Amino acid sequence: MCGILYTSSEYTREKFLSSLQAMLHRGPSAPLCYFEYKQYKMGHNRLSIIDLDNRSNQPFISDDERYVIIYNGEIYNYKELAKQFGIHMLTNSDTELLLKLYIQYGPKMLNWLNGMFSFVIFDIKTEKLFVARDRMGVKPLYYYRSGNNFTISSEIDPLLQLIGRYTIDEIAVRQYKKMRSFYNNRTIYNEIKEFPPGHYLENGYFIKYWEIDYSDKEPPSDEELMFLIQSAVNYRKIADVNVGSYLSGGLDSTIITALSGVADTWTVGFENYNEFEWSELASKKYGTNHNPIIFDEKEYLLLSRKLIHAKKEPLSVPNEVLLYYMTKIASEKNTVILSGEGADELFYGYDRIFRWANNAEDWDLKSFTDLYAYGSDNDLEIVHDAVQPFMKHKLPLKIVASFFQEAHLRGLLKRLDSASMLNSVEARSPFLDYRLIEKLAGVSIEYKMKNGVVKEPLKRLYKYTVPIEIINRKKIGFPVPLDKVFAGVSIEGESFFDKWFNFNLRVLGEVL
């Protein structure tokens, strides 16, 4: 939806606005909007999705002119909350609802929000700061802390420009080269941290307001599960702009396309390496205006360089490049895109590693690493560090389930946000609805893989909705032929994934 930037440090207005300009792509509808009080500065680039009127531009100031909010995301149930709490609305914007809920109820209002969000609220009277991020970390948020001063941004680049100095976190580099992402709120820079999902910041302290319960639970009824999935899709169609959907022809994107009824669908692949057959099958069934996009593998490394330059960080997975390219073309028709992220984590779609965890009597770090990690370096210490927060669940299956639901998924969400927002498109993922996560976390593998069938509940419930060929097809992920991409290119690495990691780090070094 937007890009937000806040600081309590005494940067000049010119430097602050220059940094805000680094993420104009996040909000071309109303860019470089600015609020200043003493040394406190708040900036906002708006991508108009709901209530396209200028009255909803940000920074948004409360009726009594005491509070100011900058906000990125969507609160899907904002109209229901306004009615439930009797909040008089002067706009048709979830921004106004968010601010007024906070003024009346404080941090507890976070528990009532269904959506994806990161926001900053500044109290002019007390000069106090309140910051919050959504439960799953769908919307990005980063911070730099210097004593009691915070600088907060939707992206890393503005922070780098403001603080003007940075050092590389060698632990983060090791994480990336072994596990293709960053963990425990690290970024590749020592000075910049990721704001933890499901937390808010108040009086300088991070406070967790939501945590997933992985204790054993009974599975939902078929009726309840189908209602929750349909409700999640319906919520994510709420927009005053055109909504489309990614459609690979896999189970997850096909279900979302079927339930959403969107007009436009999109898929991408290489000329001789794609899933077009499956996406065309689904598109014909639902009558969508389908757009299969062919990406030239010769352009892959060039576009990768462009993205690394824009992000100021390495790319998480090779298919991020294709996702970006597809969304760039889709942006000509759709400002909102529906995506299938989250289904594999909910329903144990990574069946090889979940089957291992279910059969393991005790936790075995080496076996987990062999199944999960891509880098060839034998760096078990770094894998242990990434998994450590989830060891409290003790059972191997619960450790793996929680790791995938929280840590692994965050890497995918960064990829999705970057690939979409660099093109001024908002991506929404129905399977990340917190009601689904709360309902399915802790439900047995016997339910999620009944009779050994991967994602059995989804395949059974939607067998008359999704083409049977897609129900029965084998999952292949989102492939990139790295062997062809790196053919004739001199990059160090034992495997093609090693080459991919080293290429990203080398290009980032050139950028910095």
pLDDT bin (cut points 50, 70, 90) of residue 511 is: confident
Residue 478: its pLDDT value, please?
67
Q: Is the pLDDT of residue 475 over 80?
A: no
Q: Is the pLDDT of residue 398 over 70?
A: yes
Say what the pTM is: 0.96
pLDDT bin (cut points 50, 70, 90) of residue 15 is: very high
Tell me what percent of the residues of the chain surpass a pLDDT of 90.
90
pLDDT tens for each residue of 332-372? 999 999 999 999 999 999 999 999 999 999 999 999 999 99
Residue 477: its pLDDT value, please?
67
Q: Is the pLDDT of residue 1 over 70?
A: no
Domains in the chain: ranges and CATH: 2-208 (3.60.20.10), 222-356+409-485 (3.40.50.620)
Q: Is the pLDDT of residue 234 over 90?
A: yes
Tell me what percent of the residues of the chain surpass a pLDDT of 70.
99
pLDDT tens for each residue of 57-116? 999 999 999 999 999 999 999 999 999 999 999 999 999 999 999 999 999 999 999 999
CA distances from 53 to 24, 73, 120, 121, 454 (A): 19, 17, 22, 22, 46
DSSP string, 58-120: SSEE-TTS-EEEEEEEEETTHHHHHHHTT---SSS-HHHHHHHHHHHHGGGGGGG--EEEEEE
Residue 263: its pLDDT value, please?
98
Q: Is the pLDDT of residue 496 over 90?
A: no
Q: How far apart are CA 396 and CA 353, in angstroms?
A: 10
143-157: average pLDDT: 96
Buried b (16+ CB within 10 A) or exposed e, 265-292: bbbbbbeeebbbebbbbbbeebebebbb
Q: Is the pLDDT of residue 213 over 70?
A: yes
pLDDT tens for each residue of 400-445? 999 999 999 999 999 999 999 999 999 999 999 999 999 999 999 9
CA distances from 432 to 23, 193, 426, 440, 441 (A): 25, 23, 15, 11, 12
Among the residue ranges 135-139, 249-253, 273-277, 305-309, the one predicted with the least confidence is 273-277
Q: How far apart are CA 424 and CA 45, in angstroms?
A: 11
261-272: average pLDDT: 95
Mean pLDDT of the chain: 95
Residue 56: its pLDDT value, please?
86
Residue 449: its pLDDT value, please?
96
469-477: average pLDDT: 85
End-to-end CA distance of the chain: 28
pLDDT bin (cut points 50, 70, 90) of residue 25 is: very high
Q: Is the pLDDT of residue 293 over 90?
A: yes
Q: How far apart are CA 457 and CA 225, in angstroms?
A: 9
pLDDT bin (cut points 50, 70, 90) of residue 316 is: confident
pLDDT bin (cut points 50, 70, 90) of residue 53 is: confident
Strand, helix or coil for residue 133: strand
Q: How far apart are CA 357 and CA 449, in angstroms?
A: 13
Strand, helix or coil for residue 141: coil
Q: How far apart are CA 262 and CA 258, in angstroms?
A: 8
In sequence order, what are the beta bridge partners of 267?
292
CA atoms lying within 13 Å on the CB side of residue 406: 25
380-386: average pLDDT: 96
